[in-house]
């Protein structure tokens, strides 16, 4: 018999202890769930709002065994959880949501692009790269400049470099540490957008209004949502999201980053099989935010409404910007979310602010 829907009082396991885990735990608590966090990081910011923390490496058999004892279902808050962790949990009879397929695909940029195109979610042209010679051959097809990214473990613009020309190929391969990589044609985009969507255990799919995103140095700076987009563009994004979620037999919230081209076509940049920074605006802008939505999906509850209630400008607080907290706390339109992290290293995501204004009619 299915254990779903999980009743309040059940326990949700989360692999990862960062701010996404923290906000998941807060949402879970509101629905009457306890959260148990597994993280190798001492003093993780999610641990301080969770019922219990297991301090262990993600693939530590003992840690996973303890997690399996406490948790009724396990989810993750970042996509570089080793596949061995999810397999280990499955062997112990614990389900993870999203499942291992979504995790595996999001961990490898080449597999991800192959999957997306096969799903009917278009991307830029690309080539798999294992040597400087591969780059030279791919440049002939993709044109220069092209963006070289490591296949695995890149995030927030890390492990990426532009290849300016054929003459730059060998040096570019050195710059990313000669790791297996992908070379991507340059997307000539007019805007970066994202769609946060969710799929429930019953196959129901919802998508939030699009967010317009601004990055600096590869890191998200601001999201403005709902973005000013045509109904046709929204429909295009919803179709893309539905195709991806259905093909992955997905359960939970997914973040899909999009490029909007001049002609109005959307290309998928990447998918994140988890709650997403560009969805933080939903915390104050929507009836049910992305964190509650994810917990609902994972627990087998019906999905909640994604209706926007306000326009939100979400701004990340990076590094020492958190020191402006007294001023931010005084701002009437600003809803502050501070992650309770320790030292503000440069570029570290320390919190975010949602500034609200009424929706246009
Ligand atoms: P990513 O780590 O893949 O999300 O890339 C970080 C940022 O680099 C994106 O938000 C874009 O601004 C830019 N970018 C990524 N891929 C491309 C591409 N193929 N063409 C142009 N810009 C890109």
Is the pLDDT at 337 greater than 90? The verdict is yes
Any residues with Cβ below 6 Å from ligand 1, and which? 124, 147, 154, 157, 184, 186-187, 192, 215, 218, 257, 269-270
CATH topology (fold) of 125-185: Dna Ligase; domain 1 (3.30.1490)
Pocket test for ligand 1, best of 78, 176, 261, 269 (most atoms within 8 A of CB): 269
Mean pLDDT in the chain? 96
Question: Rounded to the nearest 5 degrees, what angle is found at the Cα of 22, between the Cα atoms of 75 and 214?
Answer: 95
What is the distance in A from the centroid of ligand 1 to the CA of 269?
A: 7
Is the pLDDT at 94 greater than 80? The verdict is yes
What is the distance in A from the centroid of ligand 1 to the CA of 121?
A: 17
Beta bridge partners of 196: 255
pLDDT in tens, 43-71: 999 999 999 999 999 999 999 999 999 99
pLDDT at residue 217, as a whole number: 86
Q: What is the CATH number of domain 11-96?
A: 3.40.50.20
Q: How far apart are CA 54 and CA 42, in angstroms?
A: 10
Pocket test for ligand 1, best of 147, 188, 223, 256 (most atoms within 8 A of CB): 147
Percent of the chain at pLDDT above 70? 98
Q: How far apart are CA 198 and CA 294, in angstroms?
A: 7
Q: How far apart are CA 142 and CA 148, in angstroms?
A: 12
Is the pLDDT at 361 greater than 80? The verdict is no
Q: How far apart are CA 61 and CA 83, in angstroms?
A: 13
What is the arithmetic mean of pLDDT over 92-98?
A: 95
CATH topology (fold) of 189-357: D-amino Acid Aminotransferase; Chain A, domain 1 (3.30.470)
Please give the model's pTM, rounded to 2 decimal places.
0.97
Q: How far apart are CA 40 and CA 67, in angstroms?
A: 13
Q: How far apart are CA 124 and CA 310, in angstroms?
A: 33
**With bands split at pLDDT 50, 70 and 90, how would you rate the model's confidence at 360?**
confident
Strand order in the sheet with 34-39: 52-55, 34-39, 11-15, 73-76
pLDDT in tens, 228-286: 999 999 999 999 999 999 999 999 999 999 999 999 999 999 999 999 999 999 999 99
What is the distance in A from the centroid of ligand 1 to the CA of 345?
A: 24
pLDDT at residue 84, as a whole number: 84
Is the pLDDT at 41 greater than 80? The verdict is yes
pLDDT in tens, 160-204: 999 999 999 999 999 999 999 999 999 999 999 999 999 999 999
Question: Would you kindly state where each structural domain of the chain is located, as residue ranges?
Answer: 11-96, 125-185, 189-357
Q: How far apart are CA 297 and CA 303, in angstroms?
A: 6
Polymer length of the chain: 361
Is the pLDDT at 155 greater than 80? The verdict is no
Give the DSSP letter of residue 286.
Answer: B
What is the distance in A from the centroid of ligand 1 to the CA of 94?
A: 35
């Amino acid at each position: 018999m299915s254990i779903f829907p999980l009743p309040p009082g059940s326990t949700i396991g989360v692999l990862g202890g960062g701010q996404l885990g923290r906000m998941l735990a807060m949402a879970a608590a509101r629905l009457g769930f306890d959260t148990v966090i597994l993280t190798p990081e001492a003093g993780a910011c999610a641990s301080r709002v969770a019922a219990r923390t297991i301090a262990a490496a993600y693939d530590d058999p003992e840690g996973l065994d303890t997690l399996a004892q406490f948790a009724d279902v396990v989810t993750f808050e970042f996509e570089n959880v080793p596949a061995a962790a999810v397999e280990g949990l499955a062997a112990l009879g614990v389900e993870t949501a999203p499942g291992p397929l979504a995790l595996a695909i999001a961990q490898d940029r080449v597999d991800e692009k192959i999957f997306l195109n096969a799903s009917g979610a278009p991307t830029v042209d690309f080539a798999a790269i294992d040597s400087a010679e591969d780059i030279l051959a791919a440049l002939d097809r993709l044109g220069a400049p092209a963006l070289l990214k490591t296949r695995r473990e890149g995030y927030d613009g890390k492990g990426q470099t532009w290849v300016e020309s054929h003459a730059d190929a060998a040096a570019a391969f050195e710059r990313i540490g000669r790791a297996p990589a992908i070379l991507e044609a340059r997307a000539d985009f007019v805007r970066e957008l994202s769609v946060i969507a969710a799929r429930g255990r019953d196959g129901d799919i919802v998508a939030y209004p699009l967010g317009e995103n601004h990055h600096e140095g590869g890191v998200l700076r601001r999201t403005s949502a709902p973005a000013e987009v045509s109904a046709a563009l929204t429909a295009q994004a919803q179709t893309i999201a539905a195709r991806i979620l259905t093909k992955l037999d997905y359960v939970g919230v997914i973040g899909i980053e999009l490029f909007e081209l001049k002609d109005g076509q959307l290309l998928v940049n990447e998918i994140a099989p988890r709650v997403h920074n560009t969805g933080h605006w939903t915390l104050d802008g929507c009836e049910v935010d992305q964190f509650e939505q994810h917990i609902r999906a994972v627990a087998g509850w019906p999905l909640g409404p994604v209706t926007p209630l306000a326009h939100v400008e979400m701004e990340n607080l990076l590094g020492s910007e958190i020191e402006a907290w007294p001023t931010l706390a005084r701002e009437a339109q600003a809803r502050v979310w501070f992650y309770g992290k320790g030292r503000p290293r440069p570029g570290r995501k320390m919190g975010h602010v949602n500034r609200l204004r009424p929706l246009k009619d």
